[in-house]
Structure 1
Amino acid sequence: MFKKILWRFVFSYLVIFIIPLLIGIGSYFSIKNIMMSSLYRYNKTALTQLEDKVENEIVKSVESLADWINLNPYYFIFLPEAKEALDSSDRLLNIRNLCREIYSQTYKNSYIIDAFIYIPSENIIVGPSYTTTPYNYYTYINRPLNMSFEKWLEFLSGEYKMKYIPSFKIKADYKNLSTIVFANTLSRWIIDGKNANVFVIIDQSKIVSTMKEIVSYPKGILWILDRDNNQVLKVSADKQDISLPKLNFSIYNDFRIQELTLNGEKWIIYYVISPIYGWKYISMVPVNSFFEEIRKIRNLSLILLGFMSIIGSILIFFFSMQNYRPLSEIKRLLQAGNETKSFELEKNEFDFIRDLVLQTLSKEEELKKQIMRFSPIIKNNLLYQLLLGSILPENIGELELKTLEMQRQDAKFLVCLIEIDDCSGFIKGESDSEYSLVTLVVTNVMDELLETNGFKHWDVLFSRTKLSVIIEVIDNVKDSIKKLTEIFGNMIEFLEKNFSIYMSVGISGEVMGIINLKFAYEQAEKVLSLKFVKPNMKIFKFSELSQDITSEKEFLPKDIENKIVNIVKEGKVEGVYEVFENIKNHITAANSPHMAKMILIYLYGLYYQLLNSIPNKVGEKQKPEPEKVMRLIIEEKNPKKVLQSIQEDFKILTENVIVNKQKIGNDLISNILDFIHQQYSSSEISLSTIAEKFNITPQYLSAIFKEKAGQNISDYIQSLRMNKAKELLLTTDYSVSQIAKMIGYTEVSGFTKAFKKVEGISPNKFRELNKIQ
């Protein structure tokens, strides 16, 4: 039996060895194609990395800056009405504020050399740290080297639409620089009938360095084209004077590679297209350079094949001997662990394991049923990841589609986001089970209405008060949205009337493919956030309200908003009055009553966001009603009076945060003390293990324990152990070594040392003296 199984091992290893050996020999003759595939993937990854780097750090920043400037409300200071309304000092102060904001938007980006706005009606240039004339800018700041002053003025006054101008040479700080200039006409900055332009000067040398770091070939050429196929940048290792061949770009293929002949030399050309901005990233490399590494690897593969043949033959027999030995032990363990005695003891190892596996397979159906119970959780989690955009396109395959019961990836979808605003009339407590009942009622009503109207849909649970539904669009999208509006309207009316459940619904625009569900969810989430400024609306459609989202302004400076959030979260009541004094000044400086009211609405929305995101004790009766607050803001002519009311709400919220923190601290210490009394006899208990148990840092645990209990946590544990040790010494006959282990000491010497430190005598001496007494 030994030889039979041993030679079966030898034969198995030999077959396993010969198969990859033959495959390796065959692969040698087709290694070019194999390596080409890997090389293509590498080059695609490199170009995609270059695309991400350029677009996230340059294109996105530059175009976001242009959009921000276009929407910036400071353009009003250049209007004729503002000139009459503002005196020179106020106007100068506003211009300086605009300069500071431009600086704050650009100084962190190392690629941006300068950014400025040219206002033709004023014939001035406004930059991050200056306001000057075109002539002064041309002469003293950044002088265009290949352009006369007349051409410079003509350039500043042109009309542009997200245009990138390459190889724009300037002289700045006594150095000649090669730059790329981004130019865009500001559609909102129409002053005296003339549009202002924004210009961003980008350091071309830094982009070139980035390109060479990511994609580098000794003889390669790289091009970057914008969305209109205009050349933005060209990088050539040997400065070859080769123009980009005419290519037929396809937006449906994100990576293309082909061979061509130029000037008698063969080249490999490949490119990627940005799905967001439509930019093209193209690399062209000589064939000989492209395949140089492949030739090296092919030669190395021949050496490895020969080496593998020699070493493999030696190892086959060795591993066969080594792997036989565990079989007998496995058989013995399986016999001992098997509850039934139906197996014959004389069977060899293979037959025994085979019979045991057959018995296990007979329970497969039962295991499948148990696994199916987790199917809804898996499905909800997969849909949740899709909506958040956490799943990459290449990770969505047939298995995922089958799990989601989706027939194809490229269908049209809408995402509807539902937020339960109030259900206190239906449930009395705040437990998860009660909110689960609310979710069950809402989803049952919604599913019945959607199925009755023929909508294929998928429910996704986000939280206790937030759920989403993905809807596949088969008919015309406008008709579908109209029908969904009617369905959700009936659902809201039914739930309010019969269950006292009040909710708001956001409906996204149409997207193509499940991988774009993220964008639909973001649309639904953004449009639903408008419920704070449109209190009488219950259904928010992106198709109708998208303009409200894109035209949002920063009503409060970011530093003030961050200060409010930090003050409330930290429970600093005195800070509320200080920050609201700043807000009062900000409202006073608003250029219109409408703007002042929008600041108050924004402030109230921030209050409600904090109210729902941080633990506090503000009860339902103390919460301000949205309708009353909105009516007060809209109808009250004195914004300061409304601000006083909102300030009081923030003060109450901050006070309740303090109370909640104190209660949390007391509850935490109570739970920690219970845990210590249960586990103090364990040798594993320590500051770090207790901190890990309660999901807090050791530093915070040490500080709060000393504050609440009045002593260090290690001293408290030692006190418990010493009291228990004295009790055991006086009431039992356990040895000192046994008692040490019973109270958590791994070494008796450590226990003896600690006991002497507390009592002044050894444990044995303590037992002897107290028993005599």
Structure 2
Amino acid sequence: MFKKILWRFVFSYLVIFIIPLFIGIGAYFSVKEIMMSSLYRYNKTTLTQLEDKVENEVVKSVESLADWINLNPYYFIFLPEAKEALDSSDRLLNIRNLCREIYSQTYKNSYILDAFIYIPSENLIIGPSYTTTPYNYYTYINRPLDMSYEKWLKFLNGEYKMQYIPSFEIKADYKKLSTIMFANTLSRWIIDGKNANVFVIIDQSKIVNLMKEIISYPKGIMWILDRNNNQVLKVSAEKQNISLPKINFSIYNDFSIREFKLDGQKWIVYYTISPLYGWKYISMVPVDSFFEEIRKIRNLSLLLLGLMSVISSILIFFFSVQNYRPLSEIKSLLQSNNENKDLKSTKSEFDVIRDLVVHTLSKEEEMKRQITRFTPIIKNNLLYQLLVGGILPESIGDLELKTLSMEKQSGKFVVCLVEIDDCSGFIKGESDSEYALVTLVVTNVLDELLDTNNFKHWNVLFSRTKLSVIVEIKDSFEQSLPKLSSLFENMIEFLEKNFTIFVSVGISGEVLGIVNLKFAYEQAEKVLSLKFVKPNMKIFKFSELSQDITSEKEFLPKDIENRIINSVKEGKVEGIYEVFEDIRCHITAANSPHMAKMILIYLYGLYYQLLNSIPNTVGDDQKPEPEKVMRLIIDEKNPKKVLQALQEDYRILAESVIVNKQKMGNDLISNILEYIHQQYSSSEISLSTIADKFNITPQYLSAIFKEKTGQNISDYIQNLRMNRAKELLLTTDYSVSQIAKMIGYTEVSGFTKAFKKFEGVSPNKFRELNKPQ
């Protein structure tokens, strides 16, 4: 009996071993196909991710920005009719509004380094935080390293159609950056017969890093081509001088892997084409290097199969003997180790195993109850993703609706954003546990009020001081909004009176379907931001205040900014003191801590703009750090103390502008004098040609030359010519007409007249009187 059962064990082990053995042998001969299939799937996934990332965050953002600027109505301020209709202050205000709108379109995109509009008729560049000339932009903001200033001007005046220029090297903030320059001619911005151009500078290094992260093989290469098959980027894991082969993209309509030869080497190429923009994303892997590792795996598999056959034959017999035990022994072992002492020894072995399974299932139910405790966290995270747009609409199914206790996706919703402004009267510390208590109080009060008024709602915790509430609307929005407003007024009053907790509430407009909750949240967030400029309000409704979100908000009188800018540019410290005294009076008259903080933030923003746009000598140790500045503004109770520190920063900036002007003036004069000494004998040299050479106006050149040398520039050139003429008259036998041409005179009569005025005698008479005998 023992041998019969033992051989059954042996046979069972043999069957169990032979099946995976044959599977392994089959896998051995199909490793290449399996690896190729895996490579196909991996490349498809990675290139699709690259396509989504590049097009959603780069191409779509950049080209949408270009289209938005092309359709922007602000171009009218540069038309000749607008110049006559608008005074300078209104025109400046409209230009500043255009700058802010450009900033609002670009500041959230980490791939966009800068964006600006060039208007040829005005020779003007308008960016997110500056309005300047091409020369200042070239010199002080972003300098193209591979272009002279003349080529830069020619580049700005070119005609483009959604063109991407790769490896556009610039120097910004003393750093060398590799970028992609996007250029497009604005078809609607026709000013004085010339089209304006929009340029967007894209951070090439971020896209390169993204491509390097997803290169599927150490020796692989990736390309990105634009819609016209121009190479935008090429990235390889190792330095390889390999050009992209000519590919007929029209014949590869599906996702596939192809093999071809390039310089005697086989390659695998895979690519995908964007159906929206027509961009191509290509991945190449060397075949020999790729299959070299596959061959190693196959050989190792063969060796392992052989060893496994020998060792397994021995182990099969050994384990068959070792694992042969009567079932009664298994029963005794299970009973001795089981916690359930009710299992009777008289039961059969199968009954014992069955009872143990029932006992195990009861443990599983207990585990399910523990998992249920995490449901609120999962629910909050799902709602959070819905509000911030982190979940795709097609990802929301019946399971998600069941988790959120929602009946359908197509309901009508309003998002209410609650921010805790001050709870220092309720808690004394800043720990998470104390803020958790504040959040508990607010949510309990809110739940009670909403449930009492039959509003179905879902709470979403964002941070210690920020809570969002999704409210489902059964009636019309016009009927529900007053009820919600009254409800939140009661909540605010109750919290302030009983807990000394002060909150502000932003209420969005109505949206249809949970997939649009993101837009409702954005509305609530934007309208709630008005609390800094409307400090007396507690409830902010998007339906009533949406106009205020986009309207210009004047924190200070209109002339304040102009006076600050002029004082800094001219280096007038007394002007800085005067304008800050007016600002103190304005803050005192406003009598609003919120308004004071907004003014201080606005002034520091202007300071950083001037610091980066006006040449100065402010050292790094003198520049205030933005993080510390914002923390000081938020924490400091006395705004005048912050204003005093800000005044000191502006004073240092104004003084450094003077120092920089003096240094630049001395350097400029040295270069001009050197140029005059080299070119004074040219008949073409004049005030205007020298000014053009150094990119300054003739008026400025005349003024600074007179200031630094005490002479007019024409008198200085004439003195050089006359001294040279005297030297030639006395040391050479050249004729007067020859000497006249040598020192820059085209007519001998003009030279004779100037020489006689300078020396009192004619050139021939001077030579006769002074030439040694």
TM tier, shorter chain?
Answer: 0.3 to 0.5
TM-score by length of 1: 0.48
The structure with more radius of gyration: 2
TM-score by length of 2: 0.48
